[in-house]
Copies of this chain bind each other. A is one copy, B any other.
Amino acid sequence: MTVAPKQLANAVRALSMDAVQAANSGHPGMPMGMADAATVLFTDYLKHDPKNPKWADRDRFVLSAGHGSMLIYALLNLTGYARPTMEDIRNFRQLGSPCAGHPENFELAGVEATTGPLGSGFATAVGMAIAERHLNASFGDDLVDHRTWVIAGDGCLMEGINHEAVGLAGHLKLGRLIVLWDDNKITIDGSVDLSSSENVLGRYDASGWHTVACDGHGAADVKRAIDEALADPRPSLIACRTIIGYGAPNKQGTSATHGSPLGGDEIAAARATLGWTSAPFEIPADIAAAWAEAGQRGASVRAEWEKRVAAHPQGAEFSRRMAGTLPVNAAAAEHIAALLADPKKVATRKASEDALQALTAAIPEMVGGSADLTGSNNTKTKVQAPLTADDYSGRYIYYGIREFGMGAAMNGMALHGGVIPYGGTFLVFSDYCRPAIRLSALQQVRAIYVMTHDSIGLGEDGPTHQPIEHLMSLRVMPNLDLYRPADAVETAECWALSIEKTDGPSMLALSRQNLPQVRTSADENLSAKGAYRLRAATAARKVVLVASGSEVEIALGVADKLEAEGIGADVVSMPCWSRFDAQPGAYKADVLPAGVLKVSIEAGTTIGWERYVGLDGLRFGIDGFGASAPAPDLYRHFGLTPDAIAPKVLAALNGN
């Protein structure tokens, strides 16, 4: 082939500016600026097979600067992926097109991660690179031997999460992670100089990265930089000096090309500048052929790899893990049976550790960690050695004080496949990693968040550490199952459900303080229904008390007092709203029947509980911030005790 790299890149530029123009919406500047470097990567380096996009040993490519989505859509189309078709690209940003405004992993094979929230893609790629090394350490070079590539912009590097991702990658010496930084000196507001004076390469150097700069528009120079990166054992940042909107003669180099169509006149001028004479969405045959040929580089490599997997003694196990199917085991059931035989009063964070002992022993793909709260989150089990730069086979990651970085890395591990990641912090610090949790949910990945110290029950650490609004703020997030188990049995049940859910994240909100075991049987996983009648009224039922987690014990105490007065009171444990909402109407009506007073008890905001207790129900909780004191004092202070609640329920029944 004699097509020059610049012409290959111009195909990307043309598609990008034309698609944005057709949509009258989008970001042409970044794909036009990074077209040359991305072309080098996709034609000469990236190990992939467009006809088999889920090949387990493919290189992962993450477009962290997701607003430049046309870059990846063009690259996938040109290298021969089944989708996006040119019709898909014509429908860029239209309802039903897989070519969404930002790349979505669930829309297109080849889009390894959903990106757009700046910095998140980069940090997700760190998790992919961890998963690769971990699986390599477990299965060897024959099965796992690939790289993770990232294209990131200034926004990705300026966000706080970048510091966490860079620190983690540098510490773990993830040498197979190579980041191409679109160093175009432009942000939305204008020149980078408006807001940053950082020596970016200096910062990366300080975190144990290899750094190199190149002319992002010179294919040979980009190759030189990539070759240098490949030869270095450290993770690499390649500063690709580029011109945003390269090729648009009147607008390039300015933020005007960032987030708006170029306009017909400027596109015409760009066509002239680039020497691009084809109609919109048409690629000259020689250029198309050269791209197609580049897309076929990996096919034979993949075929050889398939043979190795078939012949490998661990090939089946590797394939099982990558498919995300669990090993056949009875770990959870046996653990629950043992709990029933020997009831314990333990904090649910400790009950979680006990469940994890059983699960991690039975499920080798579980990789745990904590954002520097290992002993408090109870996330490390006996079978887990640390995953370190010296031994990637470990199954426990000391993430450091990096909650957001941890969440993003978990997403990356789950997206990579072969690993079921879980990680812990305090529930109140779910705020720190909330953007990662949202991306877990949006990307439909099995990442499991272990959030301990889930209420004022943590006591003396006070309002900065006491979740109030967090349970509710997480329940409203789509596709996240938030569990707040009441005892050790429910904790084990919720862990089993979390592991079994393959298409979205789960979160366990766990107590610091000890809780009695309230469940005495487990013929079925009752937590799976989201809520269930834990104790039925003995007298005529006039009240249903609904509670979650540590407040189930309180609800039982309230019920005792009511029943002593001859008032029948059901107690419903509700560990998971989203699962309860998914139950049949008849089940829900049975658990929460009409015509009786319904009362919610939860040590958090009461806003939202109208959903289950109605406007005529009672809601006990905390609608301001917490306070610093021993937990029992706080429960009394906030009126969350049987002694405080029972009289109010009686008064309501009496019409007062």
Contact = CB atoms under 8 A, between A and B. Distances in A.
Interface of A: 23, 25-26, 66-67, 93-97, 100-102, 104, 114-119, 154-155, 158-164, 167-168, 170-171, 187-190, 194-203, 205-208, 370, 372-376, 386, 398-405, 428-429, 431-432, 434-435, 438-439, 441-442, 459-465, 468-469, 472-479, 577, 605, 607-608, 610-611, 614-615, 623-625, 627-630, 633-634, 637
Contact of A401 (B101, B154, B428, B465): B154
Contact of A469 (B66, B188, B199, B476): B476
A567 to B, nearest CB: 23
Contacts of A438: 431
A161 B433 CA distance: 12
A208 B203 CA distance: 11
B160 A161 contact: yes
Given A117-B429, A372-B188, A431-B434, A462 B100 contact: yes
Contacts of A464: 66, 101-102, 104, 114-117, 439, 442
A429 B119 CA distance: 12
Contact of A188 (B102, B104, B375, B477): B375
26 contacts: A23-B460, A25-B460, A26-B460, A66-B464, A95-B627, A95-B628, A97-B628, A101-B464, A158-B164, A159-B403, A160-B162, A167-B196, A189-B370, A195-B398, A195-B401, A198-B206, A198-B207, A199-B205, A203-B203, A439-B464, A469-B477, A472-B472, A473-B476, A608-B611, A610-B611, A614-B614
Task: Identify which of A171, A469, A472 gathers the most chain B CB atoms within 10 Å of its CB.
Answer: A469
Contacts of A188: 372-376
A392 to B, nearest CB: 15
A614 to B, nearest CB: 5
Contact of A208 (B197, B435, B439, B442): B197
Contact of A476 (B96, B117, B605, B630): B605
Closest 10 CB pairs of A and B: A160-B160, A195-B400, A202-B206, A163-B163, A116-B464, A95-B629, A100-B628, A473-B473, A101-B462, A93-B460
A619 B101 CA distance: 28
A203 B195 contact: no
A429 B623 CA distance: 24
How many subunits of this chain does the assembly comprise? 2
Contacts of A607: 475-476, 577, 608, 611
A461 B116 contact: yes
B615 A374 contact: no
Contacts of A207: 197-199, 203
A119 B208 CA distance: 22
A442 B118 CA distance: 27
A119 B372 CA distance: 14
Contacts of A439: 464
Contact of A372 (B116, B195, B405): B195
Nearest to A438: B431
A190 B573 CA distance: 38
A90 to B, nearest CB: 14
Contact of A625 (B442, B608, B627): B442
B189 A198 contact: no
A583 B162 CA distance: 44
Nearest to A617: B615
Contacts of A168: 195
A362 to B, nearest CB: 25
Contacts of A118: 401
A403 B429 CA distance: 17
Contacts of A23: 460
A459 B160 contact: no
Contacts of A465: 101-102, 116
A462 B92 CA distance: 11
A101 B206 contact: no
A67 B372 CA distance: 14
B95 A633 contact: yes
Given A101-B461, A104-B464, A202-B206, 14 more contacts: A100-B628, A101-B462, A102-B463, A160-B162, A189-B374, A194-B398, A197-B208, A201-B206, A473-B473, A476-B605, A478-B623, A479-B624, A608-B608, A610-B614
A114 to B, nearest CB: 6
B460 A628 contact: no
Contact of A195 (B171, B468, B473, B629): B171
A478 B625 CA distance: 7
Contacts of A623: 478
Nearest to A388: B194
B476 A608 contact: yes
